[in-house]
Amino acid sequence: MLSTLIYRSQLAGSVSPEKLKALVERASIKNAKAEVTGILLYDGQHFFQVLEGSVENVHTVFQRISQDDRHFNLIELMRDYAPARRFGQAGMALFDLRDYQKHTVVEALLKRVTLTDERIRHDRVVKFLRSFVEGRDKETFIGIAPASEWTLTTPLTVSAVPPLQPAADQRCEFALQPIVDAANRRIVSCEALIRGLQGAPPADYFSQLPEGERYQADLHSKIYAFQLARHLGLREQTLSVNLLPMSLVMIDDAVEHLIQQIRQQGLRPEQVVVEVTEDEVISRFDAFQFAVRQLKAAGISLALDDFGAGFAGLSLLADFQPDKVKIDRKLIIDIHRSGPRQAIVLAILKCCQVLEITVIAEGVEKIEEWLWLEGAGVRYYQGFLFARPALNALPAVSWPARRP
C-alpha cells in the first residue's frame, strides 16, 4: 500500500546551496533503494518534505530523518494513503523556493505534481504544499528552543511537613500532585488522587468496593483529601478533587455534605475545585446540571478532566462551560512533534480563551512538550516533568530552568 508522510523542520546552522544539493542527492540514492520518493521544499530556513512509498519503508526513512541533527523543530504534519505517487518516480526532488519569483512558485511546484487536475484540486498533500509555499502555515507554527538549552532544578528532598499518618480504620488514602504555573514557579493547585491501602492505584480501590457502595465511598473519601490539605496548611493553593458526577447526583444532600466536610477541615469552598470527566458528564447530563448549580452556588469551581479523550470534545462546551479545562495527556504526548495534536490544542486554547476558561495541560513529561505549550500560550501544567504524585504529602517540584 502506498503511504504518504509530510513533515516540516528547521535547518540547524547553515548550509550552502551546493552542499544542500549534494545532501539531497545522496539521500535520494538511499531512498530509491527503498522506493521512497517525493519532494523536498526548502525556503532558506525550513524544510518541508513529502515522502511516498510503502508504509514500512516510509516509516524507516522518516525514523532516520528524525534522528538527523542538521535540522530541528521537526513536526509530523500528515500520514495518509493514496492510489498513486504525487511526484511520479522522479526520486526525491529538491525544490528551492528561492529559485522562483513569488507569483510563479506555486505554478512551478504544481507542474511537478503528476496527478490529474481534478485530483490536484482535492488532494490534501497538494493543499499542504501550497500552504507552506504561500507561507500560510506560519500562523500556527511555534518554534521552540532546543531542549538541550534547558534543565530542571533538583527538588528539595525533605519536605517542611512530614506525611500525614492515615488512621488505622482508613480504607483509602490520597496522593497529591501539584498543578503549576511553571513560568512563575508557583504551585496553583494540588490534585488529590485516591489510593487504596499502601498506595494502591485508584482502579484497585474502586474495584474492591461492592457495586452499590461506589458513589458513597467516592463522596465520603474526600474527607481524607480535605484532612490532608489541612495537615499541609494549604492556603494560597486550591485543592482539586476528582468525583464521579453520579456521586453528587445519587447520594442525597451530597453537595451539602461536601461543603460540611470542607468547612470541618478549616477550608473554604472557594479553595476547592471538583474535577469531572467528559464521558461521565454526558452520560447523565440533566442530573449533572443540577449538581453543578449546587456546587457553583456554594462557591466551588468545576474542572472538566481528561478533555479531548472522551466522546464529546468541543461540542460539550456548547452546553456546559466549566471554570477549567484539563487537556488530556493523549493530546499532550509529543505535541512538539505532532501537527494534528498542535492543531487540536490550538483550537481548544482559542475556544477556552474566548469563553474565559482556564486551561491546564495534563501529563506533561518532556521539556519539549512544555516548551511548545508555553509557546502556544498555556500557563498551567500538571505532569511528571514537574512532580509525581506523593502519598499523603505534597511533593517538591522540579522547575525548568535555562542552562547557564
Report the interface residues with ligand C2E, using CB under 6 A: 177, 193-194, 201-202, 218, 221, 242-244, 275, 277, 305-306, 329, 363-365, 382-384, 389
Number of residues that bind Mn ion (CB under 5 A): 5
Q: Minimum distance between the CB of residue 67 and Mn ion, rounded to whole angstroms?
A: 32
Which candidate, 338, 366, 345, places its Cα nearest to that of 75?
Answer: 338
Nearest to 347 by CA among 362, 319, 325: 325
For Mn ion, give the closer residue by CB, 303 or 371: 303
User: Measured from the CB atom, is 95 or 205 closer to ligand C2E?
Assistant: 205
Quote the least distance from Cβ 124 to ligand C2E, whole Å: 32
| Smallest separation (angstroms) from Mn ion to the CB of 189 | 11
In the set 52, 275, 278, 369, which binds Mn ion (CB under 5 A)? 275
- Report the SS3 class of residue 8: strand
Question: What is the C-alpha separation between 120 and 52, in angstroms, rounded?
Answer: 16
- In 3-state terms the chain splits into helix, strand, coil percentages (rounded to 5) of 45, 25, 35
Report the chain's C-alpha Rg in angstroms. 26
Give the residue with the Cβ less far from ligand C2E, 305 or 368. 305
Question: Amino acid identity, residue 403?
Answer: R
Residue 221 interacting entry, from Mn ion, ligand C2E, none, C-beta within 5 to 8 Å by type: ligand C2E
CB closer to Mn ion out of 31 and 242: 242
At residue 25, the 3 state secondary structure works out as: helix
Rounded to whole angstroms, how far apart are CA atoms 178 and 156?
A: 15
In angstroms, rounded to a whole number, what is the distance separating the alpha carbons of residues 345 and 375? 12
Q: 160 vs 147, 157, 179, 395, CA distance in Å?
A: 31, 10, 19, 10
C-alpha cell belonging to residue 6? 509530510
Q: Binding partner of residue 339 among ligand C2E, Mn ion, none, CB under 5 to 8 Å per kind?
A: none
Helix segments in 114-165, DSSP class H: 117-122, 124-133
In this chain, which stretch among 4-12, 195-203, 229-237, 356-364 interacts with Mn ion, using CB under 5 A? 356-364
Q: Which does 374 bind (CB under 5 to 8 A by kind): Mn ion, ligand C2E, none?
A: none
In order, the DSSP letters of 168-194 are TT---EEEEEEEEETTTTEEEEEEEEE
363 touches, from Mn ion, ligand C2E, none (C-beta below 5 to 8 Å by class): ligand C2E
Fill in the per-residue mask, 227 to 266: x = in contact with Mn ion (CB under 5 A), - = not in contact: ---------------x------------------------
**Angle at 105 (CA atoms; ends 99, 107), nearest 5 degrees:** 135
DSSP state for residue 255 in the 8-state scheme: H
Instruction: Considering the complex, state which of residue 20 and residue 200 has its C-beta at the smaller distance from ligand C2E.
Output: 200
Q: Closer to Mn ion at the Cβ: 76 or 275?
A: 275
Among 52, 123, 306, 369, binds Mn ion (CB under 5 A): 306
278 binds Mn ion per the rule CB under 5 A: no
Residue 342 beta carbon to ligand C2E: minimum distance, rounded to whole angstroms: 19
**Which phi and psi (to 5°) does residue 44 adopt?**
100, -15
- Look up residue 162 and give its DSSP letter: P
Nearer to Mn ion, 97 or 274 (CB): 274
Min CB(192)–ligand C2E separation in Å? 7
The residue among 6 and 190 lying less far from ligand C2E, judged by its C-beta, is 190
Give Cβ neighbours of residue 390 (< 8 Å, ≥ 6 apart): 163, 175, 176, 177
| Binding site residues, Mn ion, CB under 5 A | 242, 275, 305-306, 362
